[in-house]
Chain A
Amino acid sequence: MRPILLKGHERPLTFLKYNRDGDLLFSCAKDHNPTVWYSHNGDRLGTYRGHNGAVWCCDVSRHTERLITGSADQSANIWDVETGAKLHTFGFESPARAVDFAEGDKLCVISTDPFIGAPSEIHVKRVEKDHSKQSSESLFVIKGPTGRINRAVWGPLNKTIISAGEDCLVRMWDAETGKLIKQSDPDAGHQKVVSSLAKSADGSHFITGSHDKSAKLWDIRTLEVLKTYSTERPVNAAAISPLLDHVVIGGGQDASQVTMSDRRAGKFEAKFFHKIYEEEIGGVKGHFGPINALAFNTDGRSFSSGGEDGYVRIHHFDADYYHIKM
Chain B
Amino acid sequence: MGPMRWGDAADEDEGIEGVLPPMQVMGPDEKGVKIIIEWRKKEDGSKVKVTTTVRVKKQVKRLNPAVIRRRSLKKFGDAVGQNSSENLTVVSTEEIFLERFRPVGQQGAKQEEKGADLASLGNASLIVCRTCGKKGDHWTSKCPFKELAANRGFNIGGEKPPGDDDMGMSSSSGPGGKASYVPPSMRMGSKGDGESMRKGRDDNSIRVTNLSEDTREQDLQELFRPFGSISRIYVAFDRDTGLSRGFAFINFVNREDAVRAINKLDGYGYDNLILRVEWATPRTDRA
Chain A residues in the interface with B (C-beta under 8 A): 1-8, 21, 23-24, 33, 35, 37-38, 41-49, 63-64, 82-84, 232, 259-265, 269, 271-272, 279-286, 288, 313, 315, 317-318, 321, 324
Contacts and interface: CB of A to CB of B under 8 A. Distances in A.
A259 B96 contact: no
Contact of A45 (B79, B97, B103, B167): B79
Contacts of B67: 21, 23
A141 B174 CA distance: 48
Q: State the main secondary structure of chain B at its contact with A.
A: loop
Given A38-B71, A46-B79, 9 more contacts: A8-B88, A43-B85, A44-B89, A232-B135, A262-B148, A263-B171, A283-B101, A286-B96, A324-B100
Contacts of B92: 2-5, 286, 313
Nearest to B95: A2
B33 interface: no
Contacts of B100: 281-282, 324
Nearest to B167: A288
Q: Max chain B CB contacts within 10 Å: which of A8, A46, A263, A269?
A: A46
Interface string B79-100: 1100001011111111111111
A6 B89 CA distance: 5
A44 B135 contact: no
Contacts of A49: 77-78
Contacts of B64: 21, 23
Interface of B: 64, 66-67, 70-71, 73-80, 85, 87-101, 103, 132-135, 145, 148-149, 151-152, 167, 169, 171, 174-175
Given A82-B73, A282-B101, A44 B145 contact: no
Contacts of B85: 43-44
Contact of A259 (B75, B94, B133, B175): B175
A241 B92 CA distance: 23
B152 A265 contact: yes
Given A259-B174, A265-B152, A272 B98 contact: yes
A324 to B, nearest CB: 8
Contacts of B66: 21, 63-64
Given A7-B90, A21-B64, A261-B152, A321 B76 contact: no
Contacts of B95: 1-2
A242 B133 CA distance: 32
Contacts of B132: 265
Q: Max chain B CB contacts within 10 Å: which of A4, A5, A269?
A: A5
A46 B87 contact: no
